Structure 1
């Protein structure tokens, strides 16, 4: 961090646990020194990475700390012991820099006359599955990370209301500034099956509260959970990265990994007022080159999808 991003001062607080079981991690979640940190590294092993979120030390810690406004980063103990070379260290530094609000690089805006925000919306459940935490990550369309936070831990009864309030609180200052230069766009990316009762309801409520501003919006669903597969030359040749196939006015496929037959499916909600599916697909593709995990571009996932994991 000091060498690559020129941080002048870094202070570390180390907290050890007795064992590698989930309960040992839980014992330190309320440590006062940890709760004062600006970024927390959670050390796990390779086997723990494969556990379900409810049994995963990292996801349990992440849910707790993000609820206190503290970003987290997991690091495998095997990586520390075997492969902590300069490349690995700079990738960890890059990820940390991004989570602390830094901007490592941007992309050129295609529409230079219009401001635009890209908002990734995700959610995670509490350990017992009874409460839900809404997560919003906001980027400018040139790739700059604007802000990211989470809604209060909610029951399913008040989740939509809390998510709406959280989105309004997060976006309103940015929207106020953008409105000074005219019409702007809000493009929402949803990465799980959006519910009319929750996420869609929250976004509709947000639109009503922003009705005094002049803006276009698009509601975009991104997913790999579909039945489409792509093949070229009877499967004997690779498919070019960035291959775009429009299925309908509101649906398209975008290919990222040349050796794979599984494309990303992009669905544009019919309630959107900005309806250029090709523009949105290009934006998703260029955002895939903005990796905040590594200096290498993402092979499969757009930036927002990585961050919301």
Structure 2
């Protein structure tokens, strides 16, 4: 496989030229990097039992890092059968845990990707390049924002159950906070300590205060500055008013500033649909009479349900994969009644912009990254928790500003 890996890395570095318009120039030129050095770390798996594969990967990586500690990111190439092993035997997950503990973000590539034809490989390389650049703390692109105010933050609040136990006393939960500037630039991420559900309000308060104080210091808020903070949550929590907690934290940290606050839930879990009977969809391919997305409203369509509630269409046209795909479910956006910033249409438009910032690919996703990132973090934390000697410490220190979870 080494020859195919070398060819793949060469294409990532130098591009595919006219073979693929999606990735002509290569990773360094696309993102304006001065230099890109790639060091190979061969893994010898001949005769290795499948239960030992992850150990061989880890040993090879450890040996390589002893020779060269100046590593910014790692690409782990997986043979197809090894990509679907149980988590405890997964070379991807075990290597990710090892490297992230050292503050090194990881990008995985499956062996089937190496065999793609140049035209299709270009699109894959483009997505890998975007994701890798974001993991290296780069910002592939941003969106327009309101420049009238001194600072605007959009903060995603996530919640993850890690234990899976049905006994409530044994369940362990973490709070996940992702902070963005108003233009979509990723500022930082925070994972709280594990706790019981009854402890969660205090953990959220402690975590949020820490995050807001750091942002205030980093962004150099001055007395009298007008600061707008919009919180996104996927769903309300049982018997916990998260909005009241974060509003209280923000007023404490921003006591010298002119603060505007909004708390919105953003979810697909609702009974509503949007239908545009005048929309004929788009052809499934050039010249085809078969169409997909029929009756799906244009992306960005906003419908008012009430004073504080909007429906937002985020999936339509070319984003719908097949003609038999059901009508997309819009996002339901609901503003908390205690919010002091009440422009729901502005918030809905901002949610739409944030669906185009996933940085796992160049295509939009179905939820804003404030929610999407929290879901990705929760999924990976649940898996990494079962890895021996895994610690989340690096996530709040060395990888605080990296999109390690992409």
User: What band does the TM-score fall into relative to the shorter chain?
Assistant: 0.7 to 0.9
Match of 2:127 among 79, 86, 91: 91
1:72-87 alignment to 2 at 5 Å?
73=107, 75-82=109-116, 85-87=121-123
1:157-196 alignment to 2 at 5 Å?
157-176=198-217, 177=219, 179-180=221-222, 182-196=225-239
SS in 2 for 1:179: coil
Q: How many residues align?
A: 306
SS in 1 for 2:180: strand
- Which of the two has greater strand per residue? 1
* 1:254 maps onto 2:288 in alignment: no
Matched residue, 1:240:
298
Q: Is the 8 A contact 1:160 1:201 kept in 2?
A: no
Choose 161-170 or 117-126, whichever is displaced more.
Answer: 161-170
1:8, distance to aligned residue in structure 2 (A): 3.1
* 1:305 maps onto 2:371 in alignment: yes
Matched residue, 2:340:
273
1:145-224 alignment to 2 at 5 Å?
145-176=186-217, 177=219, 179-180=221-222, 182-197=225-240, 199-200=242-243, 202-210=245-253, 212-214=255-257, 215-224=259-268
Matched residue, 2:20:
none
Q: Residues 281-300 of structure 1, C-alpha deviation per residue, up to 9 Å, x if partnerless?
A: 111112223341222x3053
Matched residue, 1:292:
359
Match of 2:160 among 99, 102, 124: 124
Matched residue, 1:139:
180
**1 or 2 for the larger relative contact order (CA 8 Å, sep ≥6)?**
2
Distance 1:37 1:199 in 2: 39
Distance 2:164 2:88 in 1: 8
1:174, distance to aligned residue in structure 2 (A): 2.1
Instruction: Could you tell me which runs of 5 or more consecutive residues in structure 1 were left unpaired when the two chains were aligned.
Output: none
| Aligned-residue CA RMSD (Å) | 4.1
Q: TM-score under structure 2 normalisation?
A: 0.61
Choose 96-105 or 43-52, whichever is displaced more.
Answer: 43-52
1:263, distance to aligned residue in structure 2 (A): 0.7
1:51-66 alignment to 2 at 5 Å?
none
Instruction: Could you tell me which runs of 5 or more consecutive residues in structure 2 were left unpaired when the two chains were aligned.
Output: 1-26, 166-170, 280-293, 318-326, 377-406
Choose 284-293 or 59-68, whichever is displaced more.
Answer: 59-68
* 1:4 maps onto 2:30 in alignment: yes
Distance 2:265 2:80 in 1: 31
Q: TM-score under structure 1 normalisation?
A: 0.77
